Amino acid sequence: MPHFDLPLDQLVTYLPDREEPADLDEFWHRTLTEQDAEHPLDVTFERVDTGLTEIVTEDVTFTGFGGQPVKGWFHRPVRLEGPLPTVVTYIGYGGGRGLSHESVLHAAAGHATLVMDNRGQGSGHRVGATGDAGPTGSHAAGFLTAGIESPETYFYTRIFTDAERAVRAARRHTAVDSSAVLVSGGSQGGALSLAAAALTELRDGLGEPALRGAIVDVPFLAHVRRASVLTSARPYGELVEYLHTHRDSIEQTFRTLSYVDGVNLAARTTVPAMFSVGLMDEICPPSTVYAAYNHYAGPKEMVVYPYNGHENGGAFQEVEHLRFAREHLG
């Protein structure tokens, strides 16, 4: 696909106004503290036999939004007991935690990894094991518009809360150095990585160290209003389909989305970050990625793939992941 968005010299300075609700910080502080009060984290780790001789894997369960169990994998090198620097990894849209051997790259590099399952997903590119019992309401097929009538009922409020809790779940493991944790993900996983970093900083009284960094590849859910008029590729196509029918709900829909929009969350995040973008990406258009990147409040770098789409850098970007983790975790 040819370049269809702004040229690169305009992307690097693209800084749109933020459509930000006045109570964004209060909403997230209330959401996280209410969940803490009602639903203790209750994380468990159970060792499993994967057939890999150099990686120890444990089946993770922790309490997510609404008291619902959220699954994950925890990997660490068999010859290293800890405390280990750790990467919390989030999965793209439709996928789940996958089979245990699919996510051991960072463990092979000497770090621990917690891979969070996606509630309600796991029937796309990777299998999952976590359901979603939250409200959905009238919505287009998929997850983007589920519960979108309000931020309190929205699907992404639930899974963003899970993402923040996954960081704390990882820190409960005895092999984890709680002062050396970073978050990582691509597409929806990039949105979750950015959300986890922002919510960890927004949340008062966490009593734990700040994150060491965030890897945010081709993030979904950034500058969503622009994305909705640039592309009809899914998942944004779900939003287009929904608003095509719900003609009277446009502003309320974007109000809900403003609570999870990565542009607004990026402005609240100060840990070092690495973003990446594919300039031919029709799923998460380049200007939406740069909107979040240019509003990001902390030290940052962007890796650009001029001739790639949403697949981004693929294995080349994994090399960048290892470099970034080595630089910020040791």
Residue closest to 116 by CA, chosen among 134, 97, 144, 136: 97
SS3 call for 297: coil
Retrieve residue 120's tokens: 């309600």
Q: Please identify which of the residues 100, 184, 187, 287 carries the catalytic annotation.
A: 187
- Residue 205 zone, left/alpha/beta (φ > 0; ψ -120 to 50; rest): left
For residue 228, indicate whether it is catalytic. Answer: no
For residue 246, indicate whether it is catalytic. Answer: no
Q: Please identify which of the residues 281, 287, 321, 328 carries the catalytic annotation.
A: 281
Which residue in the block uniquely carries the two structure tokens 């983790």?
A: 325
Q: Please identify which of the residues 106, 295, 310, 321 carries the catalytic annotation.
A: 310
The Cα 285–Cα 230 span in angstroms is 7
The Cα 71–Cα 162 span in angstroms is 10
For residue 78, count other CB atoms closer than 10 A to its CB.
Answer: 13
Please tell me whether 259 is known to bind a ligand: no
Q: Where are the alpha helices (DSSP H) in the chain?
A: 8-11, 24-38, 105-108, 155-171, 188-202, 224-230, 236-245, 250-258, 262-266, 286-295, 315-329
For residue 187, indicate whether it is catalytic. Answer: yes
The Cα 137–Cα 148 span in angstroms is 8
Residue positions forming the annotated binding site: 93
Which residues are documented as binding site for substrate?
93
Q: Catalytic positions, please?
A: 187, 281, 310
